[in-house]
Structure 1
Amino acid sequence: MVFADRAGLTPAEVTSLTCGSPDDPSWTAGREATLIRMVDALHDSSDVDDELWRCAQELLDERQLLDVLLLCGWYHAICFAARTARVDLERGAPRFADITAA
């Protein structure tokens, strides 16, 4: 996976991101699990509940929190535009969805 390799993700982490949960043993740092929970919540409901937000505030500063929110929003905007415009997928480009749990 091109971007996974660049980000330094292990095969177990990639599998967890596609088929697992923030509670998987791949995520040893509480910060990683919290980020995954935030991204999942934003994807599922476009919101982060108060408890998760407080937890995130303990681990991230205001700029980092804003970065997470904007990055998730920007990703969704790009996906909406690309799908609606029927942009062809790049041939041969790896996809997270191609990863299955071992």
Structure 2
Amino acid sequence: MLSLFRVFARNPRLLRKLGAAGLLDDASPLPLRQREIVILRTTAHHRCEYEWGVHARVFAKAAGLDEAQLVATRHGTAEAPCWTEQEQALIRVVDELHDEGKLSEEAHSLFVRHWETEQQLEVLALCGFYSTVSFIANTARLAPEPWARCFPDAGEAPSACPCG
């Protein structure tokens, strides 16, 4: 069992409300790749190596994220050349939500141009949910799972944990 779920289990209501799967079901209106970019960027913003590492190990390959893109979720900018135009817009949206708590007119325009309302709400929910997960994991001082990825240094590929 993941360490995070052992923390959730200390509060049965929290476990019921947040659940083990969170927003990781097949009913998501976002493609897996976009969902994972949002989650990785959100957890990186909150310096949550625990959750970033779980997603980098478990979902990155299936989402088609390569090593450079994993590094960019932690250290890159929205303009990094490894992203498509739509992915750059997504990262800008996530970054502004975390930095400002809202979107500038330009980012909002990109958001509504690239995503339907249901998808926009999913992006917002993922940012909020994984912010909460990051707060919990960081406050509980969860060490990375032994099989998870570690935060990469800038310009380096992610390594296997345990991290030092």
Give TM-score, length-normalised by structure 2.
0.55
* Structure 1 residue ranges without an equivalent (≥5): none
Partners of 2:114 and 2:83 in 1: CA distance: 15
- Partner SS state of residue 134, structure 2: helix
After the TM superposition, which residues 59-98 of structure 1 pair with which residues of structure 2 at under 5 Å, given as runs? 59-95=114-150, 97-98=151-152
Structure 1 match to 2:82: 26
* Structure 2 residue ranges without an equivalent (≥5): 1-55, 157-164
Contact persistence 2:69–2:82 (CA under 8 A):
yes
Q: 1:15–1:81: structure 2 CA closer, same or farther, 3 Å change rule?
A: closer
Structure 2 match to 1:57: 112
Give TM-score, length-normalised by structure 1.
0.84
Per the TM alignment, residue 71 of structure 1 is displaced from its structure 2 partner at its CA by: 0.3
Q: 1:34–1:40: structure 2 CA closer, same or farther, 3 Å change rule?
A: same
Deviates more, 1:66-75 or 1:76-85: 76-85
Per the TM alignment, residue 99 of structure 1 is displaced from its structure 2 partner at its CA by: 4.5
2:76 is aligned with what amino acid?
Answer: G
2:79 is aligned with what amino acid?
Answer: D
Partners of 2:66 and 2:144 in 1: CA distance: 24
Identity of aligned residues (%): 35
Q: Where is the helix percentage greater, Structure 1 or Structure 2?
A: 1
Corresponding pairs, count: 100
- Partner SS state of residue 71, structure 1: helix
Per the TM alignment, residue 36 of structure 1 is displaced from its structure 2 partner at its CA by: 0.4
